Amino acid sequence: MSAIIDDKVVAGAKSSSEVKEDPIVALTEKVELLYHFRDHYFENHSIEDAINKNNDIEREMKETLGRFDEFKGYEIDGCRAKYYYLKGKAFNVVDRFVPQAEELLSKAVKLEPKLIDAWNELGECYWKNDDIKQAKNCFVGALPHGRNKTSLRNLSMVLRQESTNDQKQKIENIKLGVEYAKEAVGMDTNDGTSWTILGNAYLASFFTIAQNPATLRLCMSAYAQAEKDVVAKSKPYLFFNKATALKYQEEYKLALEAFKRAMLLDPTWEVPRTKFDELLKYLKDVQNLINSKGRLKPKRLYQMIQALDKKHLGPYKEGSYTSGNKSIKLELIPLKDLNPGINIEKVVFGKVVCWIQDSDAVPFSFCMVDEEKTCMVVTVYNLAEGRGVTVGDSVAIPEPFLTHQQFSFSVNEFDFKSIRVETPVLLVVNGRKLGRDQQAGAKLSSYKRPD
């Protein structure tokens, strides 16, 4: 009697009239099913099952590898490279580095150097093992055999992670990474993974090259496209990176929601939970310190306000300032009279009553009180490390950009106004305008997760 598995005749069949199953076709189908199980997990499982996802994938991987044992040594002499590739890819389905995957995929590319998929899998294997140099070599090595979206978008990732002390080279890597990611998207505009990596490339460009709001809009647009793909929107790192961008935009409620989504999709990944907790604490601190005016005692607060002197407006005290060859008029107004958005030809002036610690150090935040005892938070970006203002300093801000943060999240209610300052050189502290030495580019933290 013939041995039957999945209604197909396999190794051990004796009748020459029966058609034998092609092992490479069968194994290809099996590996594709394994990856479909991983990438479409939440189409068949609830979000509460996320805690079990890694174990479920490991179980499916082991079951898939069992099929390779069935076909071992059977009609693979002419397809040995593909056999090694498929088995290596099966091992590589998990997030962690698996040495057997590296061994098998290395054999595959040696036997068949033009096997692009094997190069890409091997590159991802090295990536998981923090070997950025070897990962880059694999993705670069695949491209001469055919331009493909996987190699291109993965190159975008490794170029951003490549270690270099040369700032000029780092900038060139990020620019090239954007171009590779754009090319990958152009090859398949429905692939959410490529859109995710393009968004990450724009985010890195925003932080490292130039903090142009248009670049951040491109970043958010790419993430929006990624979320249209059922596979990409099941990846926690999409929402983690989106949350990072939203936090920088001071879209705090949306940032909290995105961090929470990342947490739900992968409860084992601690970084989103940490960042969620840190942001929530920061917002609570802001609210409490504004309400209590920096927790200053009434006598101390009164003394500070009495010490406000318009001479500390510095270059803004004459009611105007020069920007390039243009003279800009400024009207001193109380904090309570600010309108949402940019307040053209206005200047505000007050005392620093406290500063607020943020684990990311960006932005530098402090609370300011004016002579009418109105208190607001000021967020300063691009401030050099170790620089800032201290309690008791007099600060003037020209043409302030105001945001009214008013939202609820879980059991927390937030209702405060904040002034965003893109560069510290706009500030006048104790009558003196801050110099260029106070300015520095923002730094984007990176974490060991798939891009």
- Pair 44, 107 in one domain: yes
**Same domain (yes/no): 265, 160:** yes
Return the beta strands (E) in 83-126 as ranges. Answer: none
pTM of the full structure: 0.87
| Residue 211 in this model has a pLDDT that exceeds 80 | no
Tokens encoding 234: 């099941």
What pLDDT does residue 208 have? 84
Contacts 24+ apart (CB under 8 A), 132-137: 132/158, 132/161, 132/162, 132/163, 133/162, 136/162
- Overall average pLDDT of the 275-304 stretch: 95
Total number of domains constituting the chain: 2
pLDDT tens for each residue of 199-210? 999 999 988 887
Q: Is residue 446 assigned to a domain?
A: no
Reading phi first (left if > 0) and then psi (alpha if -120 to 50, else beta), residue 319 is in left
Q: With 50 as the cut, is the pLDDT of residue 290 above it?
A: yes
Average pLDDT value for residue range 293-309: 94
Residue 370 has φ and ψ, to the nearest 5°, of: -100, -175
Write the pLDDT tens digit of every residue in 340-390: 999 999 999 999 999 897 777 678 899 999 999 999 999 998 887 767 889
Give tens-digit pLDDT for 139-163: 999 999 999 999 999 999 999 998 8
Place of tokens 């992670």: 161
Q: Is residue 81 part of a domain?
A: yes
Choosing from 283, 299, 315, the residue where a domain stops is 283
Q: Is residue 123 part of a domain?
A: yes
User: What mean pLDDT is predicted for residues 302-331?
Assistant: 85
Q: Are residues 170 and 294 in the same domain?
A: no
Query: What pLDDT score does 213 carry?
Result: 77
Residue 302 has pLDDT above 60, yes or no: yes
Residue bearing the bigger pLDDT, 173 or 17: 173
* Contact (Cβ atoms closer than 8 angstroms) between residue 391 and residue 369: no
Same domain, residue pair 304 and 275:
no
Q: What is the pLDDT of residue 269?
A: 95
Could you say which of 234, 253, 283 is where a domain stops?
283
Q: Which of the four pLDDT bands, split at 50, 70 and 90, describes residue 449?
A: low
As a whole number, mean pLDDT of residues 241-253 equals: 94
Residue after which a domain boundary falls, among 249, 265, 283 = 283
Asked if 79 and 226 sit in the same domain, the reply is yes
Tell me: pLDDT of 324 over 70.
Answer: no
**Total residue length of the chain:** 451
Residues 213 and 381: beta-carbon distance below 8 Å: no
Average pLDDT, the chain: 89
> Are 277 and 304 in the same domain?
no
Shared domain for 336 and 291, answered yes or no, is yes
Inform me whether the pLDDT recorded for 87 exceeds 80.
Answer: yes
> Does 237 fall in a domain?
yes
pLDDT at 446: 47
What is the rounded average pLDDT of the residues 78-104?
Answer: 95
| Residues 251, 261 within the same domain | yes
d(CA 338, CA 403): 10
For a pLDDT cut of 90, what percent of the chain falls above it?
74
Judge whether 242 lies within some domain: yes
Same domain, 189 and 256: yes
Q: For 102-125, what is the mean pLDDT?
A: 97
The answer to whether position 56 is within a domain reads: yes
Give the 3-state secondary structure of residue 398: strand
**Does one domain contain both 268 and 315?**
no
Please say whether the beta carbons of 313 and 428 come within 8 A. yes
Query: pLDDT at position 414, please?
Result: 97
DSSP category for residue 443: -
The pLDDT value recorded for residue 19 is 52
The yes-or-no verdict on residue 110 having pLDDT over 80 is: yes
Domain containing 123 equals 23-283
CB atoms inside a 10 Å sphere around CB 342? 12
For 296-440, strand residue ranges (E) read: 320-323, 326-329, 331-332, 341-342, 346-356, 364-369, 375-380, 394-398, 401-409, 412-421, 428-429, 432-433
Same domain for 299 and 250, yes or no, is: no
> If you average pLDDT over each of 127-136, 317-326, 419-428, which comes out highest?
127-136
Whether pLDDT at 131 is above 50: yes
Q: Given this model, what pLDDT does residue 103 score? A: 97
Asked, for residue 6, whether it belongs to a domain, the answer is: no
* CATH number of the domain encompassing residue 356: 2.40.50.550
pLDDT of 116:
97
CATH code for the domain of 157:
1.25.40.10
Same domain, 162 and 195: yes
Q: Answer yes or no: is 96 within a domain.
A: yes
